[in-house]
Structure formats: C-alpha cells, structure tokens
C-alpha cells in the first residue's frame, strides 16, 4: 500500500500524551503541512498560534471548561463539570487554528489545514487530536480577552485546536467504517 494511504488509515486520535515536548523540526514539519493545505481560491485564510507554555495551556483548559459548564450540549456540559477532564489531554503542544473572517470559506480552509497537520503528525509517529472544545471559550464572554492574550490577529476566528505530543498509548484498531457511505453514478 502507498505510504500516504497507509498513514491516513493508521492515524488515530491520541488522548494520552507524554509530558516531553516534541522536537522543533517535527513541529516545523507539521506546521508546513498545514500551510500546504488546499484552500478556497488559494486564499490560505488560516493562522496558527502555537502554544507550548504549560501554564497557559492549563489556564485555557480551566477557562474552556468554565465556559462550557452551561453549554446547551449535555455531553459537553458533563465533560466541563468533570474535574478530571483535561480539554487538551495533557498535550505539550497546542496549535490554535484561526480563520480570516474575510476569507471565502475560512472554516473549511482551517479544517483542511488541521487535517494536513494530523496526517503529518502521524507520519512522524507523533500523537495528535483535533479539538473543538476550546472554541467554546473563544465564543464566550471571555473570548475577546483570550484572543488578545494569545495575540490572535484581528479579524480572525479561532475554530479548532490541534493537540500534539508523543503518544503515551498505542491505539491500532480502527473502528468499523459506516456502510453505505459511498454512492456511484456511472
């Protein structure tokens, strides 16, 4: 099987990371993969904010959970009210993926960039997790404060976080794929 297809099939979400920080050259390779994602009209409407400060990541964890405690979704409320739950699962690197509000399809562009980073991480045997929980904080009353604190560019909306770190667990079995997800008209 082609190596790229193999990596795509083997990639699994990591929710348990070692404390050790990933190497700078690995981080740069993953970021470059994000920068080379497709985008609507090649607008490249994304911005990546790399966080490796453990205290700031923990602060975002606490504040994201606080913002989600009254969220309409019951599952997210339960997660937010669980003292043991960590939004970032202990990942030593968190990349906030934000999109230019003036882009043609910034949320789609950012999703493509996030997926490229996840695949690149797997190719380097680095654990990754695509995470939308932190967006609850950015959409809360404290959102403006945290956009400023993280120096996010004006006119950009933070959509996702990509969590990165060395895997502290080995997950190899892919869940069964849903049937009838492909239709052919030939």
Cα(40)–Cα(21) distance, rounded to whole angstroms? 33
Task: Determine which of 35-39, 104-108, 168-172 has the lowest per-residue pLDDT on average.
Answer: 168-172
* Residue with tokens 């964890």, as numbered in its chain: 61
Share of the chain above pLDDT 90, in %: 90
Query: Is residue 170 very low, low, confident or very high in pLDDT (cuts 50, 70, 90)?
Result: confident
DSSP E strands, 19-151: 46-51, 93-100, 127-131
The gap from C-alpha 160 to its chain's centroid, in whole angstroms, comes to: 5
pLDDT at position 172 is 72
Q: 2 pLDDT exceeds 80?
A: yes
- Residue 134: the pLDDT is 94
What residues have CB less than 8 Å from 92, skipping those under 6 apart? 17, 18, 19, 20, 21, 22, 52, 54, 57, 164, 165
- Give the domain ranges of the chain: 3-165
Report the topology of domain 3-165: NADH Oxidase (3.40.109)
Q: Residue 41 region, left (φ>0) first, then alpha (ψ -120 to 50), else beta?
A: left
**Average pLDDT for 93-118:** 98
> How many angstroms separate the CA atoms of 96 and 151, rounded?
11
Q: List the structure tokens of 117.
A: 């980073």
pLDDT at 83: 95
Q: CA dist 6 to 122, 125, 144, 162, Å?
A: 10, 13, 41, 21
Whether residue 24 has pLDDT greater than 90: yes
Nearest CA-CA partner of 60 in 21, 110, 96: 96
């Amino acid at each position: 099987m082609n190596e790229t297809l193999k990596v795509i099939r083997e990639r699994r979400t990591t929710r348990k990371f070692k404390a050790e920080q990933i190497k700078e050259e690995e981080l740069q390779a993953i970021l470059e993969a994000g920068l080379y994602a497709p985008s609507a009209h090649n607008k490249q409407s994304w911005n990546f904010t790399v966080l490796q400060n453990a205290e700031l990541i923990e602060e975002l964890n606490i504040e994201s959970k606080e913002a989600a405690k009254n969220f309409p979704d019951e599952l997210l409320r339960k997660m937010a009210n669980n003292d043991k739950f960590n939004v970032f699962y202990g990942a030593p690197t968190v990349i906030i993926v934000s999109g230019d509000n003036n882009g043609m399809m910034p949320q789609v562009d950012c999703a493509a960039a996030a997926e490229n980073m996840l695949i690149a991480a797997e190719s380097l045997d680095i654990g990754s997790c695509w995470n939308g929980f932190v967006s609850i904080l950015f959409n809360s009353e404290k959102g403006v404060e945290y956009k400023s604190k993280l120096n996010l560019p004006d006119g950009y909306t933070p959509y996702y976080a990509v969590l990165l770190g060395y895997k502290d667990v080995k997950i190899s079995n892919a869940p069964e794929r849903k049937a009838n997800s492909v239709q052919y008209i030939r």
